[in-house]
Structure 1
Amino acid sequence: MDTAALRASWSDAWRALDASPDDAVLAELLDRYGEAHRAYHTLQHLGECLAHLARERGGAERPAEVALALWFHDAIYDVHRHDNEARSADWARQAALDAGLAPDVAERLHALVMATRHDTQPVGADARLLVDIDLAILGAPPARFAEYERQIRSEYGHVPPAVFEPRRRQILGGFLARDPLYLTASMRTRLEAAARANLGQAVAG
């Protein structure tokens, strides 16, 4: 998805909510996703997520809110910190309030972004869809999955292999152990088998 398409998706989501944020918010988000230390958590990932949402839109209760949550879910990304989702969620909530959205909408956006911590079972159809979309890369074609793994390794280039590799296998093994991995029926049908193949090969080394 090119920048023009990304900008269109951003505008469409806000328009669906009858709101218009300050142009500076989009500019800062684009700058954030373009930060030099990112290799995977970039506009490529955001574009892939939004493409999955376009395909799965019928399964969303509030698709515009899911779209905005995707925009913000990796807005702040620093591999040296453990509060990226919380800081991104806070930004999403504040941006919603600043744009004039109701507090309940802002709180839903906050909760959706927090669901991408992947540490608890997501609650609600939109949260389940959002989490599945964020994990769709696990079911990507083998070449894209291999690229994803290289991109993650690049982001953690400061971590020695002896530390990174067992930790990475542990994380991927945790996803492989989920049954099912994908919580929405359509994404499970499309991606579950491929994800299990990719993860099984990655964990086996």
Structure 2
Amino acid sequence: MEDDHPTRPATDLPWPLTGADALREELLAAYAEPSRGHHGTRHLAEVLQRLEELADSGAAYDRTPVLLAAWFHDAVYDGERDAEERSATWAEEALPAHTDAATVAEVARLVRLTEHHRPEPHDVNGCALSDADLSILAAARERYDEYVAAVRSEYAHLDDDVFAAGRAEVLRSLTDTPALFRTEHGRARWEQRARENVARELAAIGR
């Protein structure tokens, strides 16, 4: 991952639909809500940049549904367990006016997949989105620590022990697989650093 690449401003983020600027602005407003920590506009921009990086590396995926799924994957985020489902439902309600039914269905499927990040090996769209979403785990140490602090701020209502237990469960569920990343580029460029970062975080919280 190129950690020194600046994050694009929100006005310059790739949006694959023409004639749907109002929807784009609604989504940007959702990501810009003050209650967001990690799951805000910066995260959206980084996911979209990582998708471009994957495409540049030769990863094949269907651009329109994957980019739309990136925009919708955290459209709803309030710390509740069904956020992915509500984000997918928003996509199913908003997108039919702008694209075909097959694209809408694929966007919703991909958004739901980000709840667990376990795409099948043949699912090129799911593998690309999952890797882009999880690429923050492979950030340079300073950026990773910022990410951890931002996630903690989203759960400020939880005490430290409860948060640590939940956080450890999430991290272990992600890394308890032969490969955290599913694309060739992700495994080659992000896997080792991500596992090092996660191990360091787990040690820091004593889990």
Task: State whether TM-score is above 0.5.
Answer: yes
Partner of 1:154: 153
- Aligned-partner Cα distance in 1 for 2:117–2:9: 31
Amino acid at match of 2:60: A
1:5 aligns with 2:12: yes
- Aligned-partner Cα distance in 1 for 2:143–2:19: 35
Alignment match of 2:54 (pick from 48, 53, 56): 56
Which stretch of structure 1 is more off in the superposition, 114-123 or 23-32?
A: 114-123
Tell me the CA shift for residue 119 of structure 1: 6.0
Structure 1 residue ranges (4+ consecutive) displaced by more than 6 angstroms after TM superposition: none
- Aligned-partner Cα distance in 1 for 2:117–2:133: 13
Tell me the CA shift for residue 170 of structure 1: 2.2
Partner of 2:4: none
Secondary structure at the residue paired with 1:59?
Answer: coil
TM-score, normalization: structure 2? 0.89
Unaligned 5+ residue runs, structure 1?
Answer: none
Secondary structure at the residue paired with 2:137?
Answer: helix
1:38 aligns with 2:36: yes
Tell me the CA shift for residue 176 of structure 1: 2.4
Tell me the CA shift for residue 52 of structure 1: 0.5
Bigger fraction of residues in helix: 1
Mapping of residues 97-112 of structure 1, within 5 Å: 97-99=96-98, 101-112=99-110
- Aligned-partner Cα distance in 2 for 1:151–1:78: 13
Aligned positions, number: 194
Mapping of residues 42-191 of structure 1, within 5 Å: 42-57=40-55, 58-79=58-79, 81-99=80-98, 101-118=99-116, 120-122=118-120, 124-191=123-190
Q: Is the 8 A contact 2:66 2:125 kept in 1?
A: yes
Note the aligned Cα RMSD (angstroms).
Answer: 1.4
Higher relative contact order (CA 8 A, sep 6+): 2
Partner of 1:192: 191
Q: Is the 8 A contact 1:49 1:134 kept in 2?
A: yes
Tell me the CA shift for residue 28 of structure 1: 1.2
- Aligned-partner Cα distance in 1 for 2:172–2:200: 10
Secondary structure at the residue paired with 2:198?
Answer: helix
